[in-house]
Amino acid sequence: GALLALNKPPGLPVLGRPGDLSLDALLPTLRRRLGLAADLHVVKAPAREYSGLVLLSSCYHTTKKLQQFFTNARWRGQYPATYRAITVGVPAEMEGEICSGLRWQQQEDRAMVVPVPAPGRRSLARKDVKSTLTHYQVLSAVEGCALLQLQPRTAFPEQLQVHLTLLLCPALGDHKHSSLVGRVLGVPFFLTPETAPTRTQVLDKELLSRLGLSPRQLYHLPLHIHLQELVLP
């Protein structure tokens, strides 16, 4: 009917400036190739760095109805969006919830999303900090890496990456937040954003060998978070 699903590669933004490659810029060409009479609208899509399901609609009313469904589902405590992630490190618990305040913080010349472990009522009321929640489950683990299922209850930019660092298991290919997890004698610990500048993710030689990568190629390793499933009404 009016719905179309695509599999987006990592690194492709949903919106972009005129002339830039983006999903939105590709929609007119896609509409012509499929012979659709109406324009396509983005109902749901993963963030730029993520891969996975993009839900499109050629009906304006269907688009609005589904977007409202996704918003209401979070208030009802449902998980309509399910992600998969490969992590460097295995969580101590096989299943659980990650709850943390998140806020934007200016660091040097860029804005970063940072965790606020115990946000105050005033900061939450002013919306300086947002309380966020993600349910996770370890699906498999091997040789220090894990495949996780992630179901965000809330929506905040970079929520999943930051929550994985709070588990001390950053996502593979996370070159923005993985520096928050340090190691001493192989034991991971959390660093404050002020003491952990952003850098290309550091992987041990054994994992690099299993991935078939050299240290110079690490910068090009994409973020391994994938929008796996969307539940529709």
Give the pLDDT band of residue 224 (cuts 50, 70, 90): very high
Across the chain, what does the average pLDDT equal? Answer: 91
Give the per-residue pLDDT at 73: 87
CA atoms of 165 and 146, how far apart (whole Å)? 13
Per-residue pLDDT of 35-66, as tens digits, reads 998 999 999 999 999 999 999 999 999 999 99
- Which residue is listed with tokens 């996370």? 174
CA atoms of 116 and 195, how far apart (whole Å)? 15
Is residue 156 pLDDT above 80, yes or no? Answer: yes
Give the pLDDT band of residue 177 (cuts 50, 70, 90): very high
Give the per-residue pLDDT at 151: 96
Domain segments of the chain: what residues?
3-78, 83-230
* Cβ contact 146:137 at 8 Å: no
CA atoms of 217 and 208, how far apart (whole Å)? 10
Give the per-residue pLDDT at 10: 95
- CATH number at 3-78: 3.30.70
Write out the two tokens for 28: 């007119």
Per-residue pLDDT of 23-35, as tens digits, reads 999 999 999 999 9
Distance (Å) of CA 146 to CA 69, 139, 149, 168? 31, 7, 10, 12
Query: Considering Cα of 189, then 192, then 194, then 197, what sign does the dihedral take?
Result: positive
CA atoms of 138 and 231, how far apart (whole Å)? 21
What is the pTM for the complete model shown?
0.91
Query: Considering Cα of 111, then 117, then 120, then 124, what sign does the dihedral take?
Result: positive
Is residue 160 pLDDT above 90, yes or no? Answer: yes
Per-residue pLDDT of 78-114, as tens digits, reads 889 999 999 999 999 999 999 999 999 887 777 889 9
Per-residue pLDDT of 178-221, as tens digits, reads 999 988 877 888 888 877 888 889 998 999 999 999 888 888 99
Nearest to 42 by CA among 152, 30, 84, 226: 30
CA atoms of 193 and 103, how far apart (whole Å)? 12
